Each structure stands twice: as structure tokens, then as C-alpha cells.
Amino acid sequence: MKDSIRWIIHITCGGILIVLLGLHMGAMHLPDIFKFFYPLPEGSDPVQWSAVISRAKDVTTYALYMIFLPVALYHGLYGLWNVIAEALSSRKLDKIVGWVIVLAGIALYIYGAYTTTVSFINKGM
């Protein structure tokens, strides 16, 4: 894949992250304003265990996390690969590190998606 395509995806993911992280931060820290997005159980705080479990059961939050996970992973890991590639300054090592990062990304995605899905299906861990 050409670097321009990787870079376009990276920037697109950055844009999506601004929206998704904004929603997440809003739901966590400004619950009164963001109650349209995620209504809290009566009298609970967004970071309380009961609220976390309640979110895990919520289909909107599940969908959001399932989008958030690959987007954040790609954005972060591509950034990491760039830092390493710049420091190594070797085309051969670029490729090796690139494949290690791709495999790590896939493993992290599987683990993250599994945890989120299990939490959603089981209505909480």
C-alpha cells in the first residue's frame, strides 16, 4: 500500500477520533450535557461500576466502541510505526517493524472486540 493511502486513513481516523473521543469524554465528564447520547441510571455517577455495566449493555455504546477500537488502533499504531521508521532509517527494518505492528494491531483488535462483545452479550462481564 502506498504511503499516501496509509496517511489518508490516518488523518481520517484522526477526524473520527475527535468525534468519538468527544462523545466519550462528554459522556464521562459532562453527563448532564451529554445525557441525550447516553442516559445514566438514576442517581449514578458515569465512572461507577453500575454505570460501566449499564453502558456495556447499551447497543449505542457497543457500536461506538466497536468503531472506536479499530480507528484508535490504526491511528496510534501508524503513528508508532512512523516514529520507529524515522528512528531506524532503514527500508528493510521498516517492513519488519511494520509487519510486527500489523500483527500486534490484529491481536489487540481481536482481544478488544472479544471483551466488548462478551460484555454486551452477557450484559456485563
Partner 1 sequence: MEMEKMRKFIIVVQRNDPSNKQGTKWNDYSIEVPRGTTVLDALIKIKEEQDNTLSFRYSCRMGVCGSCGMMINGLPMLGCQTQIYDLESDHIEISPLPNYDVLRDIVSDLTNLFEKHKSVMPWIIRNDSKETDNPSGEFFQSPQNLEWIYQFTYCLKCGLCLSACPTAATDKLYTGPQALAQAYRYIMDMRDEGFSERLSKIDDSHGVWRCHYASSCSQVCPKGVDPALGIQLLKREVVLRKLRLKRQRKGAEVLSGPIEGAKKKEGIPSAPPKNI
Binding site for partner 1 (CB under 8 A): 2-8, 82, 85-87, 89-91, 94
Minimum separation from the CB atom of position 15 to partner 1 (A): 13
Minimum separation from the CB atom of position 1 to partner 1 (A): 11
Comparing CB distances to partner 1, the nearer of 12 and 50 is 12
Minimum separation from the CB atom of position 12 to partner 1 (A): 11
**Alpha carbon 7 to chain centroid, angstroms:** 18
Q: In degrees, to the nearest 5, what angle opens at C-alpha 5 toward C-alphas 8 and 78? A: 70
Minimum separation from the CB atom of position 3 to partner 1 (A): 5
Torsion angle of C-alpha atoms 85, 87, 89, 92, degrees rounded to 10: -50
Comparing CB distances to partner 1, the nearer of 70 and 98 is 98
Comparing CB distances to partner 1, the nearer of 32 and 86 is 86
| SS3 category, 47 | coil
Give the orientation angle of helix 3-29 with respect to helix 59-88, to 10 degrees. 130
